[in-house]
Structure 1
Amino acid sequence: MVIPEPRPCREVIILAANTIALLIPYGPAFSREFVVDLGAWEQPAENSVPALVHGIKFSDGVEFDIRMDGDGELVVYHDEFVPGEGGIAERCIESLSTSELKSKGVVTFDELLSNSNFTDAWGSTGKTVDIEIKIPHPVTKIDTDQYLESVFDLINEGVGPLDLPDKTTIVSSFSPRISTVAKSSSFEIPVTRLMPRIRSWGRYWRIKRIVAMPHFAMTSVPTMASSFREEGMESIGMALDYIVGWTRFVGPGKTVGIRGKGLRRLHKSLRGMGIFVWPAPLGIEDDLIDAGVSLVSDNMNPDLFVKPDGSVRWPRPASQPLDDEWRDAFTSSDVDEYGDLIREASSSLPEWNELSSERKSEIVVQRGRRSFWQGSEEKWKSESELGLPWGCPRIIGHRGSGKTHGG
C-alpha cells in the first residue's frame, strides 16, 4: 500500500483549510505551566552534548537531528544551513567541512558517542534514542537515496560497537524513501517515516508547515498504520494534529483521537505499533501517555513538578515507571511536597532494566490489553525481556532538552 500524494485539484481547498488550522497556536489550556520551584536550571542549546545528556537522564530518552557534512562526517544539527551572509548553497551543512562546523559550535556524532554519560544511559537504563536524519536542501543536488545509504553506514559504524539492547534506538526521517533504502542497505536498526512530509527546503518553519498541509489532509492514521506495517515499520512518528484538535477531522476516513471511540479506533489501527507525536503540550501530557502515545517534549526543566491540572509531573513513565505505592504517595501529597517526593522517587525506584521479569510482564500486559495489541500475552511477556515494546508510551526530550530556536 502506498500513501497517496495530494491530488492537484484539491490542493487549493486543502491549503486554505489547514493553513488556518496550523497558524492558530494551542490555547491556554495546552500552554500553561505550573512550576513549584524554578531553581537555577539553564536550558542548554538544542542538539548540544549537555542538552542530550540532560535529556536522556531526565526523561525516557532523546530525539536529535543528524546531517552528513562536506567531509562525510555526521554532525548533530537541525537546520539546512548555518546562519550568516551569502548564498544558501555555500552555507548548507553538506557543503561545509567538519572543522568549519565545529568552529561554529556544531557537535559531531562521534563526539556525542564518546560521552560515556550519554552512552551509558542509552545502553543500560531502558532509554530510547530517536535519530532523525535530515535530508539536504535541493540546492546541494545530493541524491537522497545515496545520502540515506551513506548516513545509515555511518550510524552503523558509530552505534555498532555500543552493543545496544533491542528497542532502544529508532531512526526516522521525513523522507518517504527511508524504509526502501533501509531495506536495500540491510540496515537493521528500526526506521520510521515522519508524517506529514516536511520538505527539505524553505527558510521559514511556518511556511514549511503550510506547504505540508495538502499531504496532511490526504492521509489518515489508519492508512499510515496499514502502510507502515506492510513496509515492516514498528512505529509511526506524526504531528499531534492527526489525533488532537479539530484538525484530526480534516483527513479521509474515520477519525481517531486520544479519548472514547476515537482512541479505540486509534488502537485498532496501530495493533501494538508505537506512535510518537510532537509537539507535546504539558496540559495534555497525561492524556497522551494514558492513550499509549509517546511524546516528543520540549518540557525538560527538572524544576517543573506540576502540570496544569495540579497533578505531579513524572518525566520517566517508561524507563522508570511509578508503582502503585508511589502513585498513592503523590496523590495524597500537597503540591509543595512534589519536588522532594520526585527526588526521592528518582533515587529509589528501579529503572526498566532493573525490574523483575514479573514486573515487566505486568506493565506490558496491562498496556497490551488496553491498546488491543496483536498476538498473545505470552508473546508480549517474552518480548518485554528483550526491551520495552514500542507500543509502551515514552516521554522523549526534543533535540535533547527541548528546542531553543526555529521550528
Structure 2
Amino acid sequence: MTVWNQPKENSIDALLHGMQFADGVEFDLRLSSDGDFVVYHNELVPGEGPKSERSIERMGTDELRSHGIVTFDGLLSQRPFTDAWQAGGKTANIEFKVPHPAAQIDDVDGYLRAMMRLLEEKLGPFDLPDRSALIYSFSPRIGPVAKSVGFEFPVTRLSPYLRPWGSKPIRRLVGTPNFILSTVTGLIKQHRKEGMPALAMALQYLQGWERFVHLGTPMAIRGGGLERLNRARAGMGLHVWPAPLELEASMLEAGFSLISDNMDPRVVSLPDGGARWSRPASQPLDEEWRERLDTAADSERADLIKEAGESLPTWSELGVSRRRGIVVEQGRRMFWTGSEDKWAAEAEGGLPWGSPRLTGHRGAGDTD
C-alpha cells in the first residue's frame, strides 16, 4: 500500500478521507465575526498578541481563510463529501463550539440560535437522509435552545462537561467534578427527558478504574456491565471517544458508535489479530466476507479489503430484507425497545441511532 500522510485535522483532505474511509466524520464548527461557519477546533488562531484579536469569533471569514482555516461552504462544495453523505449510511457528527471569553460574546443562547439557523440554511438544499447528522456541544444549553427554536437536527451534550477554553490538562481537571457526579444511568435519564436520541461520552465512563468513582452500579463494554448499559439505553445511540484499536472490535460489538483517531488505511489488522473493517454501518460485511477477512494472512488483507470495498453494497444499496436482518439482530442483542417491525421501518428511513458506527475524529484523526 502507498504511503499515507495523515492530513491536518478539520481540513478538506481530512474530512474527505474520513467520509470515504469510515462511516462518517466528526468535525467542529464556529462562527466568524461576519456570521459564517468555519471548520475549526481551537478557540484562538496560533500566534502572538491579545487573545481578543485571535478569537475566531472576532475575525472575519476572509482573514480566517488566510490562516488556512476551512469554511463550511468550502466543505459543502466538495461533491465526493456531499454525495457520500446524501447516499445514506454515513453520519456527520457536528460539534458546535462556543466562544472563548476573550471574544466577549456573553449571549451563549443567542450564539447557539444563530448557529442552528445557519446550519438549517446551509444543509436544507441537500435533503439529507434521516439520522445522517447529529449536533454535539459541551454547552448544557444545547438542548433547551434547540427546543426553543424547533431545530430540525437532533442534538446531544458531550459528557463530561468541559469548559470551552484552556489547555487539555486544565480542561480535564476542571471537568473532573462533573465526571464524578454524572453517572451513566443519570445521563441516560437526562438525555431521554430532553428528547436526545444519543449519548456522547468519554470512554472513562465505561472502561478503566475511573468508571468506579461514580455512585451506583458501574457500566462496562463487556459482560454484566454491558448488559446493564444496553438495557438502560434501550436503543439510544452511544457515541464514545477515544476508540483505541485494541478495544475497537469489542466496542463495536457492544453497540457503540466510535469517534476514532485511527484513520490510517494501512491498518488492516487489529491488535487481537482480526481484520479491521472501517465501514461497519455504511457498508456492512456479510458473514462470508467477515470470515474471508479474518482467516486471511495479514499480507493478504489489504487487497481483500480493497476488493470488499469495491464489491459489497452500501447501506443504501442493501435490499429491504438485508437491512431488516441487520437491525433485528442488533435490536435483539442490544435490548432495543419496540417491535422488530418498528426497527425495520426505522431502518428504511435511515440507519437507527442505536446501530454502531465508526467515525473519523476531525476527519482523519486529531493532529492538534
TM-score, normalised by the number of residues in structure 1:
0.89
Report if aligned partners of 2:116, 2:146 keep a CA contact under 8 Å in 1: yes
The number of residue pairs the alignment matches comes to: 367
1:122-271 equivalence runs, <5 A: 122-142=85-105, 143-202=107-166, 204-271=167-234
Report the equivalent of 2:268. Answer: 305
Q: Deviations over 1:38-93 (max 9, x none)?
A: x3111111101111011000000000000001111110000010000011111000
Report if aligned partners of 2:33, 2:61 keep a CA contact under 8 Å in 1: yes
In the alignment, the residues of structure 1 paired with residue 273 and residue 217 of structure 2 have an alpha-carbon distance, to the nearest angstrom, of: 34
In the alignment, the residues of structure 1 paired with residue 135 and residue 152 of structure 2 have an alpha-carbon distance, to the nearest angstrom, of: 10
Post-superposition, which runs of at least 4 consecutive aligned residues in structure 1 deviate over 6 A?
Answer: none
In the alignment, the residues of structure 2 paired with residue 331 and residue 163 of structure 1 have an alpha-carbon distance, to the nearest angstrom, of: 38
SS of residue in 2 equivalent to 1:99: helix
In the alignment, the residues of structure 1 paired with residue 165 and residue 272 of structure 2 have an alpha-carbon distance, to the nearest angstrom, of: 39
Range with greater deviation from structure 2 (137-146 or 255-264): 137-146
Q: CA deviation at 1:238?
A: 0.4
Report the equivalent of 1:97. Answer: 60
In the alignment, the residues of structure 2 paired with residue 260 and residue 386 of structure 1 have an alpha-carbon distance, to the nearest angstrom, of: 32
Q: CA deviation at 1:134?
A: 0.5
Q: CA deviation at 1:141?
A: 2.6
Q: CA RMSD in A?
A: 0.8
Report if aligned partners of 2:138, 2:158 keep a CA contact under 8 Å in 1: yes
Structure 1 counterpart of 2:294, from 331, 336, 350: 331
Matched, 1:64 2:40: no
Q: CA deviation at 1:140?
A: 2.1
In the alignment, the residues of structure 2 paired with residue 328 and residue 306 of structure 1 have an alpha-carbon distance, to the nearest angstrom, of: 14
SS of residue in 2 equivalent to 1:385: helix
In the alignment, the residues of structure 2 paired with residue 358 and residue 205 of structure 1 have an alpha-carbon distance, to the nearest angstrom, of: 46
The residue identity in structure 2 corresponding to 1:241 is Q
Matched, 1:79 2:37: no
Report the equivalent of 2:311. Answer: 348
Report the equivalent of 2:345. Answer: 382
Gaps of at least 5 residues in structure 2 are none
In the alignment, the residues of structure 1 paired with residue 110 and residue 236 of structure 2 have an alpha-carbon distance, to the nearest angstrom, of: 29
The residue identity in structure 1 corresponding to 2:143 is S
In the alignment, the residues of structure 1 paired with residue 88 and residue 268 of structure 2 have an alpha-carbon distance, to the nearest angstrom, of: 22
Report if aligned partners of 1:221, 1:269 keep a CA contact under 8 Å in 2: no
Q: CA deviation at 1:125?
A: 4.0
In the alignment, the residues of structure 1 paired with residue 184 and residue 328 of structure 2 have an alpha-carbon distance, to the nearest angstrom, of: 24
1:104-115 equivalence runs, <5 A: 104-115=67-78
In the alignment, the residues of structure 1 paired with residue 119 and residue 108 of structure 2 have an alpha-carbon distance, to the nearest angstrom, of: 16
Q: Deviations over 1:89-139 (max 9, x none)?
A: 110000011111000000111111111111001000410000100110122
Report the equivalent of 2:245. Answer: 282
In the alignment, the residues of structure 1 paired with residue 172 and residue 263 of structure 2 have an alpha-carbon distance, to the nearest angstrom, of: 24
In the alignment, the residues of structure 1 paired with residue 339 and residue 168 of structure 2 have an alpha-carbon distance, to the nearest angstrom, of: 43
Report the equivalent of 1:116. Answer: 79
SS of residue in 2 equivalent to 1:179: helix
Report the equivalent of 1:291. Answer: 254
In the alignment, the residues of structure 1 paired with residue 252 and residue 294 of structure 2 have an alpha-carbon distance, to the nearest angstrom, of: 17
Range with greater deviation from structure 2 (343-352 or 119-128): 119-128
SS of residue in 2 equivalent to 1:132: strand
Q: CA deviation at 1:304?
A: 1.0
TM-score, normalised by the number of residues in structure 2:
0.98
The residue identity in structure 2 corresponding to 1:193 is R
The residue identity in structure 1 corresponding to 2:55 is C
Report if aligned partners of 1:280, 1:295 keep a CA contact under 8 Å in 2: yes
Q: CA deviation at 1:201?
A: 2.0
The residue identity in structure 1 corresponding to 2:241 is W
The residue identity in structure 2 corresponding to 1:292 is G
The residue identity in structure 2 corresponding to 1:200 is P
Identity over aligned residues, as a percent?
A: 54
Range with greater deviation from structure 2 (330-339 or 253-262): 330-339
Q: Deviations over 1:340-398 (max 9, x none)?
A: 11000000000000000000000001000111111111100110100110100000000
Report if aligned partners of 1:123, 1:164 keep a CA contact under 8 Å in 2: yes
The residue identity in structure 1 corresponding to 2:319 is S
In the alignment, the residues of structure 2 paired with residue 215 and residue 196 of structure 1 have an alpha-carbon distance, to the nearest angstrom, of: 6
Q: Deviations over 1:232-266 (max 9, x none)?
A: 00001000100111111111211100111100111
Q: CA deviation at 1:155?
A: 0.4
The residue identity in structure 1 corresponding to 2:251 is L
